[in-house]
Amino acid sequence: MSLSWHLLAFIVAICLLVTVHEFGHFSVARLLGFKVLRFSVGFGKTLWSHVAGADRTEYVIAAVPLGGYVKMLDEREGPVAAAELSRAFNHRPHWQRIVVLLAGPAFNIIFAVLLLTAIMLVAGITEARPVLGPIDAASIAGRAGLRAGDEIVAVDARAVDSQRAVLLDLLDAVSGGSPVVLTVRNGAGAPRTSTLAINGEAERRRLTEPSALMSGLGLEFYEPPVPPVLGSVESNGPAARAGLQAGDTILAIDAQPVHDFQNVVTQIQSRPGQRISIQYRRRGVDASVQVSVLAQTQDGRTVGRILARPPPLPPYPESLLRHTRLSLPGAFVQANVQAWDMTALQGRLFWRMLIGRVSVKNLSGPVGIAELAGDSASLGVAPFLYFLVIVSLALGFMNLLPIPLLDGGQILFQTIEWLKGSPLSERIQAIGQQLGIALLVLLLGVTLFNDISRQFG
């Protein structure tokens, strides 16, 4: 996927979600009688501006699309005419100020719920049953007695009916510190329980690193086997230079037969930097070539690549799918349930990250978010919309944290002033602002470090 595509998807997502957030502040402020001076999407140099309305509000699109702001009339930022003092932010009742500050995160959450409702109303809910694929006997899952064909029906006594639910509940359980007990059934047999033996806090934290949970536990969901056929071959890659083409069926690698595309991936990944022999069939004729395998970094380890992609995935068996059509009320209820579950889990994981139970490697900065935006957009409209749901919920949650400079920090200040009966001193506010800047710089540093680490291993 090209850099320009990722960048475009990222800009579209961030601009949309920032506009929703700032429109929350703007619309509620206008409704309550605050005077709004500027509504800006982005920071830095102004690319476009327009002044409109009785209050002569300036609408701005700025050059850096990583945020935005709504500027209101405020006596603390400059002189205010006596006739307009009642509309200045610092002269409005504290409860109104808090409502305006809450409106930004609230609009992000409402937007996510409405978007999720639309997705469910149009497409319904289609989820894959959590049936397990091959299990390594030496893994944590294997030692717990789990077997291929087992279907997970509960995690720590909480019923689950989809792969997504299993992933979220496993992450919650592993990071929570308690024993992880899976209830499974195989065929028509009675359910049985298996306890995953995870050794210590360090191992649990390692399992919460990106992409480490399922592989670290030795769990793998069933996937329909993909034939060992090259779907596409990247030009100037090792496969293309060796003469391999899209449509070639791989028969063997270094004389070891392969039966599906996963066999091809496994064998090539285990040979970084080596020269291998690939036997293939093209239009009924067998041949072989020598291929120099690239060595690339993936999730902190070196793997082999020949820069060829699989064919289109075969359809998932209908027997392993659950599809539910929903009415508008049903979709709205389900959207609220999912939004609440995701936000509550996000809160628990964030707290556990602060106390060291969840890896900070999960934090992503602009580069990581841009990659997710581009990847989801490349999969189609529905995955990109679901990406918007997740990021909008995250934006709403993060802005409610009691960090100065964020909405949550400002709400905390306003609440203290309300209870105190007088404004906070300039010194206290300055210390709070400096602390907020330091925390945000630290957070940005961690996310950028994670982004760079993911790119270069």
Question: Which residues are tagged catalytic?
Answer: 22
Long-range contacts of residues 157-163, Cβ cutoff 8 Å, at least 24 apart:
157/181, 157/183, 160/130, 161/127, 161/129, 161/130, 161/322, 162/127, 162/128, 162/129, 162/130, 162/322, 163/127, 163/128, 163/129, 163/130, 163/221
Q: What is the distance between the alpha carbons of residues 212 and 174, in angstroms, rounded to a whole number?
A: 12
Of 199, 208, 198, the closest CA to residue 352 belongs to 208
- Torsion 357-361-366-372 (CA) sign: negative
Q: Which two tokens stand for residue 266?
A: 């496994």
Q: Which two tokens stand for residue 306?
A: 């020949």
The DSSP string of 191-256 is PEEEEE---HHHHHHHHTSTTTHHHHHT--B--PPPPSB-SEE-TTSHHHHTT--TTPEEEEETTE
Of 361, 383, 363, the closest CA to residue 373 belongs to 383
Q: Are 119 and 382 in contact (CB under 8 A)?
A: yes
